[in-house]
Amino acid sequence: MTSVVLDASVVLKWFRDEGERHIVEARSLRVAFEAGQLLVVVPPLLRLEIVNVAGRHWSWAEPALTELATALDSLGFEFKEPELSSVARWTARGLTAYDATYVALAELEAIKLITDDNLILSVASEIAVALSATGV
């Protein structure tokens, strides 16, 4: 089984595809995860980021947000928190602390971070892999 860190830019596509790119690749990762071929490790922050985007950017109402929160809790991801000093180091390189959390976690676990965020890809090229290049 392959272990990876997925950031919100990837997992968001599991719940909405309107206006999103690389949907096929994101959904292929979900299929692999649900088939038990992929272990997904994420920081607890992921759930907050996704609920935030759904509520603030997609304008989902409370019932849909509550359903989304339940779905996120039932996915079965492995939740881990990286060291804050590692997050700070990546933040100093130009990432938001939120994005740095995913990179620091992938670094800690010695696994790849799959993302659809171009800034993460450029700042953490030794750790991050483009969603479009996953080929899952």
SS3 90: helix
The sign of the CA dihedral 127, 130, 133, 136 is positive
Tokens of 104: 């620091």
For residues 43 and 6, give the distance between their C-alpha atoms in angstroms, rounded to a whole number: 9
pLDDT tens figures, 33-78: 999 999 999 999 999 999 999 999 999 999 999 999 999 999 999 9
Helices of type H across the chain: 8-11, 23-34, 45-52, 62-74, 84-92, 97-109, 118-123
114 neighbors 5 (Cβ within 8 angstroms): yes
Distances (CA, A) of 116 to 5, 60, 66, 70: 12, 22, 25, 24
Q: Count up the domains in the chain and report the number.
A: 1
Q: Name the residue range of residue 89's domain.
A: 2-133
> pLDDT per residue over 79-134, tens digit each?
999 999 999 999 999 999 999 999 999 999 999 999 999 999 999 999 999 999 88
Length of the chain: 136
The CATH number of the domain holding residue 113 is: 3.40.50.1010
